[in-house]
Chain A
């Protein structure tokens, strides 16, 4: 039977019991408030456990203060909740440890992550902190893709990897920042070693 020929049934929408959706309120560390659906929250294992433990009713959600998320700013949290709302109801992937991880970045996620790397860095930290498995997978995929076709010199720039010389310089600077007496002792020790002495004392 074609779609055109299918019988049309009138539905009295008012007669269908609609489950009332609950929206939780969260507050970022810069005091920005967000309303997030119960289903969207399920994408975050951390938040899901938190709201389960709180056992809020619809009234509590409205009357009590917003749940504070202390270490994530509003700009990052907005991206996180946009992602959760878009992917609400989707199955959460289980990490079975298989490598390579086969991760595709959907169009919505690609657009959401079309941000500067500073914000991407915060988004990844937030996804890890809130334990949003799939958001972590796609954002890590974006970071992994940055390495494709790069030379070691380019990778050092992309991933801010210090060269051996920079590591050495940082180590020296850290030593110089130490207590001057401790540094003197260390230098004396090195000098004695160079001279072939077996024992410092």
Chain B
């Protein structure tokens, strides 16, 4: 096998070579020696690898690393294995790993999880972009410590998904008040309690989705500057207040909003439109709009058009006869 002195090249050349590596090659080079691992900090351009971290309560994690079309997945488990090929040296201890095609199996003790995540972020010089935490075992908690760790490492997180049977008030509170999410927040949990008094920091997001949202208040909704929002099982009664908030210039990014009030509640449009100028619109045949949220065309029922005073934007409040428990607002559709 003929060889070439890689680190004999000037830094401009090295950066060019490293910008053409996939995540698998970068990770493999990091294993060659301590010096090569350190050199990655100088030759890797920051945030050129997209990192998605998934963690569960079962002491397992997955980190998907992608750069263009090239991907590498780390599958971590705290179960010990007898056979491994290489060792990743972290500050908290050594981590045995073995390769299989585009997957790296990581045998990681739970106490070393954070050090391993840090190692991956360091060698790729990239932040965690998407975090997906899940726990489907009753009585087990979603690993909130992962969000806390990410928030200590980086200023913000683009996307957070929580899928859990059990999520405490403290967990939801932490997510909506402390975690700095910048693009997408998706909460799927069985937290039913209303009047929980969960305070939400003002958030500017592309997408917000929450199931079982009895905790979700008008104040929360007004603090949410979002393009598309879907809030299920909410007990919000002040829909009129939100519409007024929008008409007078609030929630400037809004494109689509779905509020669902449970099967027993029906949206009373007289109450919603009280004191607001509107124009009734009848349903036309084959009248459809493109839903950014659903990434497809959706049938448009008739409804009520309201105009925003500050910039003249028009929103359609759908009168959805099939789904009377939906408050469905479409802006400029």
Contact mask for chain A residues 119-150; partner B; CB cutoff 8 A; 1 contact, 0 none = 01100110010000000110011011011101
Stretch at the interface among B21-29, B136-144, B148-156: B21-29
Contact mask for chain A residues 160-181; partner B; CB cutoff 8 A; 1 contact, 0 none = 1111101100000000000000
Cα distance A102–B70 in the bound complex, in angstroms: 12
Check if A161 sits within 8 Å of B32, measured CB to CB. Answer: yes
Given A128-B10, A137-B16, A157-B1, does the pair A100, B68 have CB atoms closer than 8 Å? yes
A127 to chain B, nearest CB (A): 8
B201 to chain A, nearest CB (A): 33
CB neighbours of A55 from chain B (8 A): none
Check if B19 sits within 8 Å of A100, measured CB to CB. Answer: yes
Check if A99 sits within 8 Å of B28, measured CB to CB. Answer: no
Residues of chain A at the chain B interface (Cβ within 8 Å): 97, 99-103, 116-117, 120-121, 124-125, 128, 136-137, 140-141, 143-144, 146-148, 150-152, 154-164, 166-167
The majority secondary structure among interface residues of chain B is: mixed
A103 to chain B, nearest CB (A): 6
Check if A144 sits within 8 Å of B25, measured CB to CB. Answer: yes
CB neighbours of B33 from chain A (8 A): 156, 161-164, 166-167
Residues of chain B at the chain A interface (Cβ within 8 Å): 1-10, 12-13, 16-22, 25, 28-29, 31-36, 45, 48, 67-68, 70, 85-86, 99
Which of A99, A128, A144, A164 counts the most B-chain CB atoms under 10 A from its CB?
A99
Cα distance A37–B230 in the bound complex, in angstroms: 64
Interchain CB contact (< 8 A) of A158 among B1, B22, B45: B1
A138 to chain B, nearest CB (A): 10
Q: Considering the complex, give the chain B residue whose CB is closest to the CB of A116.
A: B2
CB neighbours of B32 from chain A (8 A): 152, 155-156, 159, 161, 163
Check if A97 sits within 8 Å of B45, measured CB to CB. Answer: yes
Cα distance A155–B6 in the bound complex, in angstroms: 10
CB neighbours of B48 from chain A (8 A): 99-100
Check if B31 sits within 8 Å of A143, measured CB to CB. Answer: no
CB neighbours of A117 from chain B (8 A): 2-4
A172 to chain B, nearest CB (A): 15
Check if B6 sits within 8 Å of A140, measured CB to CB. Answer: no
Q: Considering the complex, give the chain A residue whose CB is closest to the CB of B14.
A: A140
Check if B4 sits within 8 Å of A125, measured CB to CB. Answer: no
Interchain CB contact (< 8 A) of B20 among A144, A162, A164: A144
Q: Considering the complex, give the chain A residue whose CB is closest to the CB of B70.
A: A100
Cα distance A114–B21 in the bound complex, in angstroms: 21
Check if A128 sits within 8 Å of B3, measured CB to CB. Answer: no
Cα distance A128–B16 in the bound complex, in angstroms: 10
CB neighbours of B10 from chain A (8 A): 125, 128
CB neighbours of B34 from chain A (8 A): 164, 167
Given A154-B1, A155-B29, A156-B32, does the pair A124, B20 have CB atoms closer than 8 Å? no
CB neighbours of A167 from chain B (8 A): 33-35
Q: What are 6 pairs between A and B in contact, CB < 8 Å?
A: A125-B13, A154-B1, A158-B1, A161-B7, A163-B32, A167-B34
B100 to chain A, nearest CB (A): 12
Task: List the 6 shortest-distance A-B pairs measured between CB atoms, nearest first.
Answer: A159-B6, A99-B48, A144-B20, A140-B16, A100-B68, A147-B25
Cα distance A166–B3 in the bound complex, in angstroms: 17
